[in-house]
Structure 1
């Protein structure tokens, strides 16, 4: 006779089964495709990270949105300038609407990112553009006390919209999809928020095809995916779905291993291409770029006008750039600074005491030599962004021009750091530096004991960063 604990253990095991997860995602993706078929003129955007599992790249816009659920949690009625999502507004205006896809775990019908954060975002954008809450948005159910000052007082450029934004929610329980008048007759821009997963109150449901349906399977994929990514899933989905449950883990390991060893560049992924994400300013491009990784060994030799700051894991034995260049070519040119960085708390201390102190003089030198500086880390979203924020604050004026002879500025403040982070996010929406990384930048540049002429002499200040407000 099965005990309660053994039953619970089996449920936990099944909930982490990659076979159940993948087949559940496939069922939800079919629903998303059905919704898109009803609104074929609207671009389909995944809400990162979870939404990418449910959106077929063949019908998905290259743009990505990042509405975080915690930004809309109860009593948190503020607009997060680190995740403004303003880059999707031109796309919205061009197509007169868009579809935003996400999912949530068992027990909820709609994720907080769609039910709370998106309405706050719509309201703030409407107020910032129209200087008052339009009548069309009064039904959003968000408090009138939402702090919207950030959107209109930040350095972000707001597009011209001729009507307000309005969220519309669709779930698998929706029986009739709403219809909208054709532009220009529609009085608003619909943001169609699609919750991809069917609500399941008991954790999972058995399917006749032989798998257990799990609501929100794409969430927290690090816990179950074994290294499989949404792009790998969609590229090999037919082979994956035809693989038996017992053989699927080994097949996925093989896929991940082959993808990792081949280092095949994905031409649709801007993070994998050389310097495709320069920081932009209203006055033009700034000579700082961010990429996720440097995978081609010929990059260093091929781009003499570019210098590289490459932050790699401490346990990485061989750098892919150095693998294709002689020691003399790599070190003698002094065009690449490679810093191995540990993970976790040690990594953050290392970022403050080693990465920033070594990176700033290197960047300053190459900016003086009129080179573009390309900053890379494994993700392209955290530490590389932090280094770029510090460099932009130290070596560039508010108008985006380089300080005379690349000299470091002495008038750095929290407002300056916020503005430089906004420059990056406006050009590179994937940027998502952690709160700790931003705090280390504050410590490095604003500590009363630091000396900008010799950057990186950290003081004992423990002030809390407000860069992420």
Structure 2
């Protein structure tokens, strides 16, 4: 009986892998992107944001990115995370009158938890913090203003009294869970205010409170009755769930090919993309989709390798992409994964520009930049480079002492990799920052390890205003998690795509609280 159950399990897993092919995933994404494009045309003035990382697949062009985690909205794990404040989204919504956020989910739900709960919690907490800020400002003005300003003060009071601080959740969230969230809103608001976030700038930018709206492929919209976004008494955060919810897999047929639709196909890209990125997909979307299921894998292999060769010839970071052989029985591709690639002569990317304009972020006046290794050439030549990637690269510097390579892996693979290398990173940074040199900290993603090292450097050698003081503030300050959160908020103000993992942040805290900074003669 056990062998029979095991064989049924293996068969079901094999069928699932066979359905979840590369072509099925990309074709599903392509079909869903049409819906996203239709919704975007309803409010073309509003900026379109991708919720990383799944959402990034569903449109050829986004104005900005954001990072709202579904896990922050999971039942019994509800949280407001000050390491993912996404304050740039609120500022952008205030400046443009609202914004649209794209995401998707595989789980058969209409919306991922990032849209059902994480973002509604975020909007409510921000609204409450803004209300508190305006209330305090009005009190101060009432104490110092002259009587001639009473009309302006009364107008400001009326504006604040009508500021909506209530929690807006979709109908499918239970009343029990809503009550759990409401009981924690005050504490989350206090955490936001204590984090050092620039609430004042957001309060000045937003004329109306934030409020989420939900749109999916099942939403009915009368095109002759689409409201103007500026007619609402709130600043809309329009949440677009890209995928259909008719089922996990749907067999579809066109005049050329048969394929299986996958809801939320853009999720967990490492398991299916074979090195293809969203930018690369949309550059070649027509050729990929028209190649069909049988030729898709080889087409993607050629595209990925040509892009890698082009980046290598331009002196950018370009590691070899390795792909595990598929375990599917009866693969739809005629070409084995391990076959040599048929590359034409030429780079294949000579006229392409770097797509990610935010690949390097300069942190105000700190003389520190942080970003992805492949964009390291984008910093001034007098910057020294701290490379935290596994692969080394030739830095554009005449002095070899201005380059340090520390191969650091994520905490999932080595719980102490960052902790072991932090003293060397801090000593390298201090030696060059003392001389007034600029410092670039880079890793493969520019969002995790490099951010954590930057956090350690800012905490160790800068005061709370971001001025280099050679460690004086660090000696006089007891390092707490709250202090680290404040510095991380400062970093996220400039590096809006920062996504440090909890495991790596724990290593930074362990290092700094244990006083692992060594002296430099």
* TM-score, structure 2 as length reference: 0.76
Separation in 1 of the partners of 2:375 and 2:393? 6
Structure 1 match to 2:92? 91
Identify if the C-alpha distance between structure 1 residues 90 and 350 changes in structure 2 by more than 3 Å, giving closer, same or farther.
Answer: closer
**Tell me, which stretches of 5 or more residues in structure 1 are unaligned?**
456-469
Cα distance in 2 for residues equivalent to 1:338 and 1:189:
46
Distance between the aligned counterparts of 2:10 and 2:511, measured in 1?
52
Please give the TM-score of this superposition, normalised by the length of structure 1.
0.84
Shift of 1:219: 0.5
1:364 aligns with 2:430: yes
Q: Is the 8 A contact 2:462 2:471 kept in 1?
A: no
- Displacement after TM superposition at 1:367 (Å): 0.8
Residues paired across the two proteins, number: 425
Report SS of the residue matched to 1:21.
helix
1:191 paired residue number:
237
Q: Give the Å deviation of 1:445.
A: 1.0
Aligned-pair RMSD on alpha carbons?
2.6
- 1:276-425 equivalences in 2 (<5 Å): 276-280=360-364, 285-294=365-374, 303-304=381-382, 306-313=383-390, 316=391, 319-321=392-394, 329-331=398-400, 334-342=401-409, 347-353=414-420, 355-403=421-469, 409-414=475-480, 415-425=482-492
Deviation at 1:43, TM superposition (A): 1.1
In structure 2, relative to structure 1, the CA distance for the partners of 1:349 and 1:78 (3 Å cut) is closer
Distance 2:33 2:113 in 1: 20
Show the 5 A alignment for 1:59-458. Answer: 60-61=62-63, 63-131=64-132, 134-135=163-164, 137-140=166-169, 142=178, 143-145=181-183, 146=185, 147-158=188-199, 159-160=202-203, 161-176=206-221, 179-181=226-228, 183=230, 185-201=231-247, 203-209=248-254, 210-263=258-311, 266-272=353-359, 276-280=360-364, 285-294=365-374, 303-304=381-382, 306-313=383-390, 316=391, 319-321=392-394, 329-331=398-400, 334-342=401-409, 347-353=414-420, 355-403=421-469, 409-414=475-480, 415-447=482-514, 450-454=515-519
Q: Deviations over 1:287-345 (max 9, x none)?
A: 2110111556x779x612x11101121xx4xx3315x77xxx442xx111112235556
Moved more, 33-42 or 262-271: 262-271
Q: Distance in 2 between matches of 1:13 and 1:451?
A: 47
**Structure number with larger C-alpha Rg:** 2
Give 1:410 deviation, angstroms.
Answer: 4.5
Determine which structure has greater relative contact order: mean sequence separation of CA pairs < 8 Å that are 6+ residues apart, divided by chain length: 2
Post-superposition offset of 1:405: 8.4
Offset at residue 220 of structure 1 (A):
0.5
Q: Which runs of 5+ in 2 are unaligned?
A: 1-6, 133-160, 171-177, 317-352
Between the aligned partners of 1:384 and 1:136, the Cα distance in structure 2 is 36
Asked if residue 16 in structure 1 is aligned to residue 20 in structure 2, the reply is yes
